[in-house]
């Protein structure tokens, strides 16, 4: 695997475990107070709540290991395609469940009892469900484009990829998530623009161009029809409330101001992985009732990252996330001038990497105003896609 990825993964894991072992406090549930702990590093990283950080660091150790494993696995085109296809059709299956719930007017997830609030499919939060779907439908779109460009792909295969794409995009639009719906439209426009550009450059043979264009127009019509059929009422209702929520007293805006101050106090090491929920109330006491309820997440993943990991950990995480994009860019740019057979970065690879890049771009945009990157399933899919991007230089489809 790339040395940068290996170095960043080892550094983040080491930083997280030092914060746990060098923790400042541990909560005693019997005595109802935080017990000070003996630290072996007075000025190094140290969590303010050891148990919470232990859970988070165990989780991050697995995620970083998954990215490294997938980066290595990416050299095998068969397994790479299997992983990508499984992720894509998992998204379609989730979309099918969510659309079925909307069409039947379900009051909760089918197999659960009671009202679950703003749920969708297996997610208790519809925004997170839509963010997950935005991670998968670009992979379905890439699969459809690959199937249309292939001379050996069967009609059944093309229909499966197309149906999955239509269903998943329609599910995003009827989920009720305004942010995810807007991001989905932006990503679809970007993907269509890329296809138009590559067509102009002559990447697609003439007969495939018209077939792909016709398929794209058909997909748009079917997405619109599926959205209307499944029910767009909840989404319209949420959009109608947007104007009234755009004010300085909005709880999200107030929370962002608090998080900005917390990020400034976090310093080089932060308060410790997974400790946002514990630290946040200590910075909101002066606000009175302006922020009600329990804030488990900051609803802004980048600020929460700085608060928990500090400046050094956030920089390492930035290299881990955005370094994958740099690796992909260098793979495409550095191999220009070589024949596709020499570089392995041919049109099929470009299509697949377009799907991966769009999927990751969607979740990173969503993280600006919500907390998708705090949800385990979304974290796992993001880690896998980042692993595929880090392995771009040796990926051959």
- Asked if 382 and 256 sit in the same domain, the reply is yes
- Asked if 146 and 39 sit in the same domain, the reply is no
Which pair of tokens denotes residue 265? 């106090």
- Asked if 300 and 380 sit in the same domain, the reply is yes
Q: Is residue 15 part of a domain?
A: yes
- Asked if 261 and 162 sit in the same domain, the reply is no
Is the pLDDT assigned to residue 337 strictly greater than 50?
no
Residues 230-251 have a mean pLDDT of 64
Dump pLDDT digits (tens) for 307-333: 999 999 999 999 999 998 988 887 766
Residue 354: CB partners within 8 Å, gap ≥ 6? 138, 142, 191, 194
Q: Is residue 45 part of a domain?
A: yes
Residues 22-43 have a mean pLDDT of 87
Quote the number of domains for the chain: 2
Whether 17 contacts 45, CB under 8 Å: no
- Asked if 138 and 18 sit in the same domain, the reply is no
CB neighbours of residue 155 within 10 Å? 8
pTM: 0.89
Q: For residue 34, which phi and psi values (nearest 5 degrees)?
A: -90, 120
Dump pLDDT digits (tens) for 33-51: 889 998 988 888 999 999 9
Dump pLDDT digits (tens) for 173-206: 888 888 998 999 899 889 888 877 877 776 665 5
- Asked if 1 and 25 sit in the same domain, the reply is yes
Q: Of 232, 267, 294, which residue constitutes the final position of a domain?
A: 232
The pLDDT value given to residue 341: 44
Q: Is residue 79 part of a domain?
A: no
Q: Of 178, 203, 232, which residue constitutes the final position of a domain?
A: 232
Is the pLDDT assigned to residue 94 strictly greater than 90?
yes
- Asked if 294 and 377 sit in the same domain, the reply is yes
- Asked if 23 and 115 sit in the same domain, the reply is no
- Asked if 260 and 295 sit in the same domain, the reply is yes
Q: Of 180, 200, 232, which residue constitutes the final position of a domain?
A: 232
Q: Is residue 163 part of a domain?
A: yes
- Asked if 381 and 323 sit in the same domain, the reply is yes
Q: What is the DSSP letter of 337?
A: T
Q: Is residue 276 part of a domain?
A: yes
- Asked if 226 and 259 sit in the same domain, the reply is no
- Asked if 202 and 93 sit in the same domain, the reply is yes
- Using CA atoms, how far apart are residues 328 and 331, in angstroms rounded to an integer? 5
The pLDDT-based confidence of 340 (bands split at 50, 70, 90) is very low
Q: Is residue 294 part of a domain?
A: yes
The pLDDT-based confidence of 366 (bands split at 50, 70, 90) is very high
The pLDDT-based confidence of 32 (bands split at 50, 70, 90) is confident
Q: Is residue 237 part of a domain?
A: no
Domain that holds residue 69: 1-73+250-341+367-397
Q: For residue 122, which phi and psi values (nearest 5 degrees)?
A: -95, 5
Q: Is residue 83 part of a domain?
A: no
Q: Which stretch of DSSP H or E encloses residue 33?
A: strand 33-36
The pLDDT value given to residue 154: 76
Q: What is the DSSP letter of 284?
A: S
Dump pLDDT digits (tens) for 136-154: 999 999 988 888 766 667 7
Residues 241-251 have a mean pLDDT of 68
């Amino acid at each position: 695997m790339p040395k940068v990825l290996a170095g960043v993964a080892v550094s983040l894991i080491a930083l997280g475990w030092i914060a746990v072992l060098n923790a400042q406090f541990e909560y005693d549930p019997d005595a109802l107070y935080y017990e000070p702990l003996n630290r072996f590093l007075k000025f190094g990283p140290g969590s303010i709540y050891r148990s919470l950080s232990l859970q988070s660091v165990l989780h991050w150790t697995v995620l970083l290991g998954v990215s490294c494993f997938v980066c290595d696995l990416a050299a095998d085109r068969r397994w790479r395609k299997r992983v990508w296809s499984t992720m894509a059709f998992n998204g379609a299956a989730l979309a099918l469940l969510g659309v079925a719930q909307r069409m039947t007017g379900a009051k909760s997830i089918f197999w659960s009892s009671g009202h679950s609030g703003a749920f969708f499919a297996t997610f208790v939060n519809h925004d997170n469900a839509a963010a997950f779907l935005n991670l998968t439908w670009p992979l379905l779109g890439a699969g459809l484009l690959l199937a249309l460009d292939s001379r050996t792909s069967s009609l059944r295969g093309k229909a499966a990829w197309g149906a999955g794409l239509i269903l998943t995009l329609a599910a995003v639009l009827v989920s009720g998530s305004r942010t995810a719906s807007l991001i989905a439209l932006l990503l679809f426009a970007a993907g269509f623009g890329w296809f138009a550009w590559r067509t102009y450059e002559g990447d697609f043979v003439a007969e495939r161009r018209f077939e792909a264009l016709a398929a794209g127009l058909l997909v748009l019509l079917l997405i619109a029809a599926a959205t209307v059929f499944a029910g767009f009422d909840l989404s319209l209702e949420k959009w109608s409330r947007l104007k009234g929520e755009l004010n300085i007293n909005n709880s999200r805006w107030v929370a962002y101001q608090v998080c900005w101050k917390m990020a400034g106090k976090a310093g080089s090491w932060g308060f410790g992985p997974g400790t946002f929920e514990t630290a946040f109330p200590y910075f909101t006491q002066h606000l009175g009732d302006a922020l009600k309820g329990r804030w488990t997440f900051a609803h802004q993943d980048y600020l929460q990252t700085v608060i928990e990991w500090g400046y050094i950990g956030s920089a390492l995480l930035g290299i881990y996330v955005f370094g994958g994009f740099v690796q992909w860019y260098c793979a495409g740019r550095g191999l220009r001038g070589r024949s596709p057979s020499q570089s392995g970065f041919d049109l099929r690879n470009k299509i697949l990497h377009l799907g991966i890049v769009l999927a990751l771009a969607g979740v990173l945009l969503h993280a600006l105003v919500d907390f998708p990157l705090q949800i385990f399933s979304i974290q796992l899919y993001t880690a896998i896609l980042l692993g595929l991007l880090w392995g771009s230089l040796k990926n051959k489809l």
